[in-house]
């Protein structure tokens, strides 16, 4: 039986022994995994931790401000790195899903390497969990926070890794978060992909297309909040469809809505969302986002599909 209290005591001791009063930066996106790691590591190294939020321009609406406020409320020293142009520039012209993930990973670690150097930090703490490792090592899809498990040395970027959650699955991470005293809005937060909206834009990632899926994501999350889904989100397709707006023919965007239930993200079941709720989502997406003319709903389980489209 997994005991979160025992796990915490052991992890704190191990981190103290490894770091030996050296400076640590913690990559924190605001999700449950990375936030739990940041708070856990802070318990071990105290003032020798700096939480780093990279604003890649691929987060939910207003999420950068919300994450920085959350870190402040948790009493953490935090730094925001504005890197939207760098990420969108790196992703420009890339169509393939795996190529996007790998480009995002390289950009992500390169930026953290620069931060580690400027802060004179020897260590990077990150929220890698078992599902990330399984999918990356198994060749299903590259997760942005998996390095050494696939033979890439973190020393390449100028730091050593702390990954205290790498053998745990999501339910155990949530138990750790609660043991640390994190509020429900963090311990129970819906997962969001590390590469953010880049992998919910099928095809090329552009600022305009990111903004479209960002708006659609907000609508889907608002309307499905009561369902208690593991994940609910919108995906913007790479192709277009004929539609009618203001009585005129338009060739517009297609959005797919996905809502799943899962315990650990290793497998997932598509939730059967009530038709009237789907109709509400479709009406909002097509009316509030001028470029969208068609809204679809995905009923595929994992497997054969993955939770995210890319």
Confidence of residue 1 (pLDDT cuts 50, 70, 90): confident
- For each of the domains in the chain, give its residue range(s) and CATH number, in order of start: 4-187 (3.40.50.620), 200-298 (3.30.300.10)
- First-residue to last-residue Cα distance in the chain: 34
| pLDDT > 90? residue 184 | yes
pLDDT digits (tens, 9 = 90+) for 135-178: 999 999 999 999 999 999 999 999 999 999 999 999 999 999 99
pLDDT digits (tens, 9 = 90+) for 66-103: 999 999 999 999 999 999 999 999 999 999 999 999 99
CA 186 to chain centre: 13
**151 Ramachandran zone, left/alpha/beta (phi>0; psi -120 to 50):** left
Q: Would you give the DSSP letter of residue 63?
A: H
| pLDDT > 90? residue 294 | yes
**Sign of the dihedral defined by the CA atoms of residues 303, 305, 308, 310, in that order:** positive
Query: The whole model's pTM is what?
Result: 0.94
């Amino acid at each position: 039986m997994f005991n979160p209290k025992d796990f915490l005591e052991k992890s704190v001791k191990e981190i103290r022994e490894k770091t030996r009063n050296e400076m640590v930066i913690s990559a924190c996106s605001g999700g449950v995994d990375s936030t739990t790691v940041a708070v856990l590591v802070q318990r071990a190294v105290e003032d020798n931790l700096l939480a780093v939020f990279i604003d890649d321009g691929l987060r939910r609406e207003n999420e950068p401000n919300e994450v920085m406020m959350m870190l402040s409320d948790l009493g953490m020293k935090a730094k925001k790195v504005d890197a939207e142009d760098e990420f969108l520039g790196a992703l420009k012209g890339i169509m393939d899903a795996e190529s996007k993930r790998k480009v995002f990973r390289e950009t992500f670690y390169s930026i953290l390497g620069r931060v580690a150097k400027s802060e004179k930090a020897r260590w990077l703490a990150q929220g890698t969990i078992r599902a990330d490792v399984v999918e990356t090592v198994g060749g299903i899809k590259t997760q942005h926070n998996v390095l050494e498990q696939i033979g890439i040395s973190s020393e390449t970027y100028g730091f050593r890794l702390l990954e205290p959650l790498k053998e745990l699955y999501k339910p155990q991470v949530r138990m750790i978060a609660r043991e640390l005293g994190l509020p429900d809005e963090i311990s129970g937060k819906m997962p969001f992909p590390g590469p953010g909206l880049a992998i919910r834009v099928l095809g090329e990632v552009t600022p305009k297309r990111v903004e479209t899926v960002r708006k659609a994501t907000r609508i889907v999350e608002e309307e499905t909040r009561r369902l208690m889904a593991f994940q609910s989100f919108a995906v913007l397709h790479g192709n277009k469809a004929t539609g009618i707006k203001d009585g005129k023919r338009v060739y517009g965007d297609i959005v797919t809505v996905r809502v799943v239930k899962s315990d650990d993200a290793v497998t997932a079941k598509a939730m059967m969302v009530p038709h009237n709720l789907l109709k509400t989502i479709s009406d909002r997406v097509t009316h509030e986002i001028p470029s969208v003319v068609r809204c679809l709903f995905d009923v595929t389980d994992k497997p054969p599909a993955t939770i995210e489209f890319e």
